[in-house]
Amino acid sequence: MITRVCLSRLGVFSAVTPIVLNVGFYNFVSSTKILALVRSDSAPMRRVVQEARKGGTLIDATQGRKTKSVVFLDGGFAVASALSQETLARRLGGKEQQPLAGTPEEDAIVKREQVEADSERPATGD
Protein backbone atom coordinates (compact mmCIF):
# COMPACT_ATOMS: atom_id res chain seq x y z
CA MET A 1 0.00 0.00 0.00
CA ILE A 2 1.26 3.45 -0.88
CA THR A 3 1.58 5.71 2.14
CA ARG A 4 2.29 9.40 2.46
CA VAL A 5 5.90 8.58 3.32
CA CYS A 6 6.26 6.65 0.04
CA LEU A 7 4.68 9.50 -1.91
CA SER A 8 6.99 11.96 -0.18
CA ARG A 9 10.03 9.94 -1.20
CA LEU A 10 8.76 9.91 -4.78
CA GLY A 11 8.51 13.69 -4.70
CA VAL A 12 4.74 13.62 -5.16
CA PHE A 13 3.75 14.50 -1.63
CA SER A 14 5.18 16.93 0.85
CA ALA A 15 4.22 16.47 4.48
CA VAL A 16 5.76 19.82 5.37
CA THR A 17 3.97 22.07 2.89
CA PRO A 18 0.46 20.88 2.09
CA ILE A 19 -0.89 22.12 -1.20
CA VAL A 20 -4.33 22.05 -2.69
CA LEU A 21 -4.99 20.07 -5.84
CA ASN A 22 -7.34 21.54 -8.43
CA VAL A 23 -9.51 18.56 -9.40
CA GLY A 24 -11.39 20.75 -11.87
CA PHE A 25 -13.98 23.50 -12.00
CA TYR A 26 -13.07 25.40 -8.82
CA ASN A 27 -12.92 22.21 -6.74
CA PHE A 28 -9.82 21.71 -4.61
CA VAL A 29 -8.54 18.88 -2.39
CA SER A 30 -5.82 19.11 0.25
CA SER A 31 -2.76 17.05 -0.69
CA THR A 32 -2.47 15.87 2.91
CA LYS A 33 -5.74 13.93 2.56
CA ILE A 34 -5.02 12.17 -0.76
CA LEU A 35 -4.48 8.41 -0.64
CA ALA A 36 -4.75 7.50 -4.34
CA LEU A 37 -5.50 8.82 -7.83
CA VAL A 38 -7.11 6.17 -10.05
CA ARG A 39 -8.78 5.88 -13.44
CA SER A 40 -12.51 5.37 -13.32
CA ASP A 41 -13.06 3.51 -16.59
CA SER A 42 -12.84 -0.07 -15.30
CA ALA A 43 -15.91 -1.98 -14.14
CA PRO A 44 -14.61 -2.44 -10.57
CA MET A 45 -13.93 1.30 -10.24
CA ARG A 46 -17.38 2.15 -11.59
CA ARG A 47 -18.85 -0.12 -8.91
CA VAL A 48 -16.76 1.58 -6.22
CA VAL A 49 -18.00 4.99 -7.42
CA GLN A 50 -21.63 3.80 -7.38
CA GLU A 51 -21.24 2.39 -3.86
CA ALA A 52 -19.65 5.63 -2.67
CA ARG A 53 -22.49 7.61 -4.27
CA LYS A 54 -25.09 5.43 -2.51
CA GLY A 55 -23.21 5.62 0.79
CA GLY A 56 -22.91 9.40 0.65
CA THR A 57 -19.10 9.40 0.57
CA LEU A 58 -18.70 10.52 -3.07
CA ILE A 59 -17.93 14.16 -3.79
CA ASP A 60 -18.84 14.81 -7.44
CA ALA A 61 -16.53 17.46 -8.91
CA THR A 62 -17.30 16.70 -12.56
CA GLN A 63 -19.86 19.47 -13.21
CA GLY A 64 -21.93 16.99 -15.22
CA ARG A 65 -19.05 15.73 -17.35
CA LYS A 66 -17.83 12.16 -17.65
CA THR A 67 -15.88 10.91 -14.63
CA LYS A 68 -12.32 10.16 -15.77
CA SER A 69 -10.62 9.69 -12.41
CA VAL A 70 -11.33 9.23 -8.74
CA VAL A 71 -9.31 10.73 -5.89
CA PHE A 72 -9.51 8.65 -2.71
CA LEU A 73 -9.17 10.59 0.53
CA ASP A 74 -8.57 9.90 4.21
CA GLY A 75 -11.80 9.23 6.05
CA GLY A 76 -13.30 7.05 3.31
CA PHE A 77 -14.31 9.83 0.96
CA ALA A 78 -13.83 9.78 -2.81
CA VAL A 79 -13.81 12.70 -5.27
CA ALA A 80 -14.98 12.13 -8.86
CA SER A 81 -13.08 14.31 -11.36
CA ALA A 82 -13.56 15.05 -15.06
CA LEU A 83 -9.76 15.28 -15.44
CA SER A 84 -7.54 12.26 -16.05
CA GLN A 85 -5.40 10.87 -13.27
CA GLU A 86 -2.29 11.75 -15.31
CA THR A 87 -3.29 15.42 -15.32
CA LEU A 88 -4.05 15.31 -11.60
CA ALA A 89 -0.72 13.59 -10.87
CA ARG A 90 1.17 16.24 -12.88
CA ARG A 91 -0.64 18.96 -10.97
CA LEU A 92 0.07 17.26 -7.65
CA GLY A 93 3.73 16.88 -8.54
CA GLY A 94 3.94 20.55 -9.48
CA LYS A 95 4.84 19.82 -13.10
CA GLU A 96 1.75 21.57 -14.41
CA GLN A 97 0.36 24.90 -13.40
CA GLN A 98 -3.12 24.52 -11.97
CA PRO A 99 -5.47 26.76 -13.95
CA LEU A 100 -8.63 28.02 -12.34
CA ALA A 101 -11.73 26.14 -13.40
CA GLY A 102 -13.88 27.60 -16.11
CA THR A 103 -10.92 29.36 -17.70
CA PRO A 104 -9.86 28.74 -21.30
CA GLU A 105 -6.90 26.73 -19.95
CA GLU A 106 -9.20 24.32 -18.07
CA ASP A 107 -11.41 23.90 -21.14
CA ALA A 108 -8.33 23.27 -23.29
CA ILE A 109 -7.13 20.53 -20.92
CA VAL A 110 -10.49 18.78 -20.96
CA LYS A 111 -10.70 19.03 -24.77
CA ARG A 112 -7.11 17.78 -25.21
CA GLU A 113 -7.78 14.78 -22.98
CA GLN A 114 -10.92 13.98 -24.98
CA VAL A 115 -8.97 14.10 -28.27
CA GLU A 116 -6.25 11.87 -26.77
CA ALA A 117 -8.85 9.39 -25.51
CA ASP A 118 -10.56 9.31 -28.91
CA SER A 119 -7.24 8.70 -30.71
CA GLU A 120 -6.39 5.79 -28.37
CA ARG A 121 -9.60 3.92 -29.21
CA PRO A 122 -9.16 1.29 -31.95
CA ALA A 123 -10.86 2.16 -35.20
CA THR A 124 -13.80 -0.02 -36.17
CA GLY A 125 -13.59 -1.81 -39.49
CA ASP A 126 -15.67 -0.73 -42.49
Q: What is the pLDDT of residue 36?
A: 94
- Tell me the per-residue pLDDT of 67-116, one tens digit each, with 9 for 90 and over: 999 999 999 999 999 999 999 988 888 766 555 445 666 667 767 776 77
Sequence spans of domains, the chain? 4-101
The string over 15-39, giving b where at least 16 C-beta atoms fall within 10 Å of a residue's C-beta and e elsewhere, is eeeebebbbbbebebebebbbebbe
Average pLDDT, the chain: 80
Residue 121 has pLDDT above 60, yes or no: yes
* Cβ atoms 89, 12 nearer than 8 A: yes
Confirm if 34 and 4 have CB atoms less than 8 A apart: no
- Tell me the C-alpha distance between 88 and 91, whole Å: 5
Rg over CA atoms, the chain: 15
DSSP 12: S
> 70 phi and psi, to 5 degrees?
-130, 135
